[in-house]
Chains A and B, each alone.
Chain A
Amino acid sequence: GNSVTQMEGPVTLSEEAFLTINCTYTATGYPSLFWYVQYPGEGLQLLLKATKADDKGSNKGFEATYRKETTSFHLEKGSVQVSDSAVYFCALSVSGAQKLVFGQGTRLTINP
């Protein structure tokens, strides 16, 4: 079946630190991959996505590269800010299906 495994949290970093949140997936076919972010008290927002192997999604300083050989889609940011504190979800969808399969989420806290 299709599944997503995320790095367990919570993750706590200092401002300006480098961030990596690991995400690996199992899927039939060729999935599209997503990172969503959930700020406190809000719904999920799309952060970035990639639809084929070697694509790099980027937004707000965050990046993730679709790695087919390692079935991974790790989220990175070079210098985090307090405002990046949120829960981050990795997700996939398989071609032809509209359903998103989410990872369990990783809570990120950035201290000033």
Chain B
Amino acid sequence: DAGVIQSPRHEVTEMGQEVTLRCKPISGHNSLFWYRQTMMRGLELLIYFNNNVPIDDSGMPEDRFSAKMPNASFSTLKIQPSEPRDSAVYFCASSPRERRERQETQYFGPGTRLLVL
């Protein structure tokens, strides 16, 4: 089975440019999460969706960041305009609804390594 797919894997852009990161969750999973990983701050949850609806976006750093999930098989994270401090690895994760277990396991994609110059 295909895992979580993210694109691009690497992105280099200049300050001020718009950046769009893409994620395809595992088929049948109904929750999707966006994380950011940096050396200084570790792994931070930015936003998550249930059934395509944003549930908690309290981790989104500022208005320059936005995320959408137009359907169950696709999500985007957009940064506009980008700044050097946005340089990080961005992970997407998805999880199923496991009725018999208290907590769904999250399955992570390989990440997008973003460098803003």
Contacts and interface: CB of A to CB of B under 8 A. Distances in A.
Interface string A93-108: 1010011101111000
A102 B43 CA distance: 7
B88 to A, nearest CB: 14
B104 A98 contact: yes
A94 to B, nearest CB: 9
A43 B4 contact: yes
Nearest to A45: B108
Contacts of B91: 43-44
Contact of B31 (A41, A42, A95, A98): A98
Most chain A CB atoms below 10 A, which of B4, B91, B95, B108: B108
B109 A43 contact: yes
B42 A43 contact: no
Contacts of A98: 31, 33, 48, 50, 55, 95, 103-104
Interface in B93-116: 93, 95, 101-111
Nearest to A104: B42
Interface of B: 4, 31, 33, 42-43, 45, 48, 50, 55-56, 91, 93, 95, 101-111
Interface of A: 32, 36, 41-46, 49, 51-52, 89, 93, 95, 98-100, 102-105
